[in-house]
């Protein structure tokens, strides 16, 4: 358990700051970055290549947010051409298992959900 008791916060309570945390970790880019960094420390370009289809702006914003929240560590090496690496912090590593579970669930039930979407699309009357 973290520093604060779980009973102190409730994501079901309007205005609760835990909703901000939920919004951060439920974001698709966060989930993908955590999954990639769970494998190993990476440089920015490696992350971008591994994730694919993420803009430079979105990757930068998400990494900054994850660093601010203490989930990702950014390490700069003072060399002629600055080298920057990203890794999960101990707190960030606590998200690996739950996010891997969510990703596995997504992969397992994707076909079923797509089937429901197709069925739903054929039962909705066209609005004119």
Give 3-23 pLDDT, tens digit per residue.
Answer: 555 558 999 999 899 998 899
Residue 83 domain-assigned? yes
Residue 1 lies in a domain: no
Contacts of 99 (CB under 8 A, 6+ apart): 25, 31, 34, 35
Cα(94)–Cα(3) distance, rounded to whole angstroms? 14
Q: DSSP class of residue 6?
A: G
Instruction: Look over the chain and give the mean of its residue pLDDT values, rounded to a whole number.
Output: 91
Decide if 42 is inside a domain.
yes
Residue 87 has pLDDT above 50, yes or no: yes
Query: Per-residue pLDDT averaged across 40-59, rounded?
Result: 96
What's the rounded Cα separation, in Å, for the pair 97 and 105? Answer: 12
Residue 2 lies in a domain: no
Q: 27: exposed, middle or buried (C-beta count within 10 Å: 0-12, 13-18, 19+)? A: middle
- Rounded to whole angstroms, how far apart are CA atoms 72 and 9? 23
pLDDT (mean) for 74-98: 94
The pLDDT of residue 2 is above 90: no
Which tops the pLDDT comparison, 125 or 93? Answer: 93
> 81: pLDDT confidence band, cut at 50, 70 and 90?
confident
Inside any domain, residue 128 = no
* Threshold 0.85, pTM exceeds: no
Question: Structural domain tally of the chain?
Answer: 1
Integer angstrom CA distances of residue 82 from 44, 66, 74, 79, 85: 12, 21, 12, 5, 10
The answer to whether the beta carbons of residues 83 and 77 sit under 8 Å apart is: yes
**What range does the domain containing 81 cover?**
9-123
Tally helices (H) and strands (E) across the chain: 6, 3
Rounded Cα gap, residues 66 and 88, in angstroms: 9
3 is a domain residue: no
Q: Is residue 4 part of a domain?
A: no
Asked whether residue 1 carries a pLDDT value surpassing 60, the answer given is no
Indicate which CATH number applies to the domain containing 15. Answer: 1.10.10.10
- 97 in a structural domain: yes
């Amino acid at each position: 358990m973290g520093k604060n008791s779980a009973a102190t916060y409730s994501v079901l309570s309007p205005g609760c700051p835990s909703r901000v945390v939920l919004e951060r970790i439920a974001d698709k880019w966060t989930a993908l970055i955590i999954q990639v960094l769970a494998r190993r420390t990476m440089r920015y370009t490696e992350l971008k290549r591994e994730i694919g289809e993420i803009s430079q702006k979105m990757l930068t914003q998400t990494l900054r947010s994850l660093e601010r929240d203490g989930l990702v560590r950014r390490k700069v090496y003072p060399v002629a051409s600055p080298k920057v690496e990203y890794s999960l912090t101990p707190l960030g590593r606590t998200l690996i298992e739950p996010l891997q579970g969510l990703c596995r669930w997504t992969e397992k039930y994707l076909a079923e959900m797509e089937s429901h979407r197709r069925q739903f699309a054929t039962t909705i009357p066209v609005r004119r």
